[in-house]
């Protein structure tokens, strides 16, 4: 003989523990909808069963009403939780109807016919059977879960719902005063045993449903990750091909620049020598002739400087420094001789400390371009009779070169822009230039760990300070 009270205690404890289990699952997977509802439902069901088994202690009128309310409300919530988990429309009208029936029928039935247990059992069976049918319908409409799991849950829920409905109908044909808890009836024991077994299997099925959803999410993420990896791999291949093409074009550009610079230097040298020879061969050239010859040679000199600038910038982009010990006074003398052929050497005045160590480590070609650009800039923007002063000194582990002229100066508000590519001061537009000289000097100086600062104002000349470290840091 199955003891009903013992079964109720087992159902109560099992339901409570399963509810706690759902709260543990929910705490680990909060993004999944409906899991907390499952836990609340089972705990409410546990409380309802406990009230049902305590009729001898609590007034049956209140225990019956409250127990059935908690049990029915719990089933409404679990049906809603399944719909939410499966992303289906929530059937508020079903839950509302079940709650309305519960709060109206049970108080009336218990008050009007407290001894008629059969009618209450019948209503409970039909109501709960309908709610389990709604749960089974959710799985019927779902297409996200594996088919075996869906069919298993439909069979389990619809079977348990049908059992409850049949049990309710059978109660109408039994003794209406029979107490399901107090009477030692085999059918009553089998009913509660089936409820316990079904509750455990439904719990297992719902856990399998959650596991299937998590597995599907992981598979979706893996597919998305695989797709992203494939896209990134394709992008990497495209970038590699683009880089290879860019390197090839870069090499062709460098070859072209070197070839063009070489081809330009030869005719420029011829033009410069021819202009020099014309001035020497003419017995008494007039001032207009000498002016034109000087203009030709000056234009040739600027083209040579521009070619050296482009070549230095190309090497700068390659990131290749050919370091060697450089004596700064000797390099400045080279720069002065560079301008000597154009009658500008006399304007360049060098001041330096005789006992100072002014040897630095750097790239000769690049620093020669820096000095030429600084001196050429000072000569170009100052009157022909004004000197350009170069002051060389040592401060700690750095060598400082100050290039000062008495030229047109730069507007104070534009000084911060000096050294940017293609920038030319607003008061220098009448003088030819490209805006690359100081930009190139600044870039090449920074490559050597140096700094280039400018101080100027309109009509007060310009003072450019170049600071370079004596030793280059190891890379």
The whole-angstrom separation of Cα 191 and Cα 381 is 108
CA distances from 468 to 230, 328, 394, 418, 439 (A): 49, 11, 10, 19, 16
Are 405 and 381 within 8 A, CB to CB?
Answer: yes
Question: From the CB of residue 38, how many other CB atoms can be counted at a distance below 10 Å?
Answer: 27
Helix (H, G, I), strand (E, B) or coil at 457: coil
Question: What backbone phi and psi angles, to 5 degrees, belong to 288?
Answer: -60, -35
Q: What is the CA radius of gyration of the chain?
A: 48
Residues 6+ apart with CB under 8 A from 274: none
pTM of the model: 0.51
Are 344 and 372 within 8 A, CB to CB?
Answer: no
Q: For 128-179, write each residue's pLDDT tens digit.
A: 999 999 999 999 998 888 899 999 999 999 999 998 888 888 877 765 555 5
Q: Give the pLDDT of the chain (475 residues) as one tens digit per residue.
A: 557 778 888 888 998 999 999 889 888 888 888 788 888 888 988 988 888 777 667 776 777 888 888 888 888 988 888 888 888 888 888 888 888 998 898 888 888 887 787 888 888 889 999 999 999 999 999 888 889 999 999 999 999 999 888 888 887 776 555 555 555 566 667 777 888 898 899 899 989 998 988 888 888 899 999 999 999 999 999 999 888 888 888 777 666 666 666 666 667 777 777 777 777 777 777 777 777 777 777 677 667 766 766 666 665 555 566 788 888 888 888 888 777 765 677 788 888 766 666 788 888 878 888 888 888 888 888 888 888 888 888 888 888 889 999 888 888 888 888 888 778 888 877 787 777 778 888 888 888 888 989 998 888 889 999 998 988 775 4
Helix (H, G, I), strand (E, B) or coil at 307: helix
For residue 397, is it left (φ>0), alpha (ψ between -120 and 50) or beta?
alpha
Are 245 and 185 within 8 A, CB to CB?
Answer: no
What are the boundaries of each domain within the chain?
A: 4-230, 322-469
Helix (H, G, I), strand (E, B) or coil at 334: helix
**If you ran DSSP here, which 8-state letter would residue 412 be given?**
G
On whether the 322-469 domain is CATH 3.30.565.10, my answer is yes
The whole-angstrom separation of Cα 205 and Cα 216 is 16
The whole-angstrom separation of Cα 450 and Cα 376 is 20
């Amino acid at each position: 003989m199955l003891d009903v009270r013992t079964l109720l205690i087992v159902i109560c404890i099992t339901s409570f523990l399963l509810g706690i289990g759902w709260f543990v699952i929910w705490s680990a997977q909060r993004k999944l909808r409906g899991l907390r509802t499952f836990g609340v439902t089972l705990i409410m069901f546990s409380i309802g069963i406990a009230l049902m088994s305590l009729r001898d202690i609590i007034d049956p009128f209140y225990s019956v009403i409250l127990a059935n309310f908690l049990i029915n409300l719990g089933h409404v919530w679990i049906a809603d939780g399944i719909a939410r988990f499966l992303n289906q429309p929530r059937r508020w009208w079903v839950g509302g109807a079940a709650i309305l029936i519960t709060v109206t029928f049970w108080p009336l039935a218990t008050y009007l016919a407290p001894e008629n247990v059969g009618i209450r059992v019948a209503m409970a069976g039909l109501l709960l059977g309908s709610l389990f049918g709604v749960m089974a319908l959710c799985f019927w409409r779902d297409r996200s879960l594996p088919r075996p799991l869906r069919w298993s849950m439909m069979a389990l829920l619809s079977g348990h719902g049908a059992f409850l409905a049949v049990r309710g109908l059978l109660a109408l044909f039994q003794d209406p005063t029979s107490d399901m808890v107090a009477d030692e009836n085999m059918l009553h024991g089998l009913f509660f045993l089936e409820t316990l077994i079904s509750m455990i299997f439904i719990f297992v099925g719902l856990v399998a449903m959650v596991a299937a959803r998590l597995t599907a999410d992981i598979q979706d993420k893996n597919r998305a990750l695989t797709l992203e990896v494939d896209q990134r791999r394709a992008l990497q291949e495209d970038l590699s091909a683009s880089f290879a093409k860019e390197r090839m074009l870069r090499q062709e550009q460098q070859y072209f620049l070197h070839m063009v610079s070489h081809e330009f230097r030869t005719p420029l040298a011829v033009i410069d020598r021819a202009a020099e020879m014309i001035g020497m061969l003419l017995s008494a050239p007039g001032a207009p002739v000498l002016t034109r010859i000087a203009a030709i040679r000056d234009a040739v000199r600027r083209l040579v400087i521009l070619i050296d600038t482009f070549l230095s910038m190309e090497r700068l982009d390659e990131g290749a420094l050919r370091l060697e010990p450089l004596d700064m006074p000797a390099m400045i003398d080279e720069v002065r001789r560079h301008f000597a052929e154009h009658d500008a050497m006399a304007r360049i005045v060098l001041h330096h400390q005789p006992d100072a160590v002014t040897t630095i480590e750097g790239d000769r070609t690049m620093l020669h371009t820096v000095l030429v650009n600084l001196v050429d800039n000072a000569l170009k923007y100052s009157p022909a009779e004004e000197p350009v002063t170069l002051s060389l000194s040592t401060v700690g582990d750095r060598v400082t070169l100050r290039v000062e002229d008495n030229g047109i100066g730069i507007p104070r508000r534009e000084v911060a822009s000096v050294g940017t590519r293609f920038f030319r001061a607003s008061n220098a537009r009448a003088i030819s230039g490209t805006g690359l000289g100081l930009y190139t000097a600044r870039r090449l100086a920074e490559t050597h760990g140096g700094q280039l600062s400018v101080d100027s104002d309109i009509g007060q000349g310009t003072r450019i300070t170049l600071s370079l470290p004596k030793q280059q840091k190891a890379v």
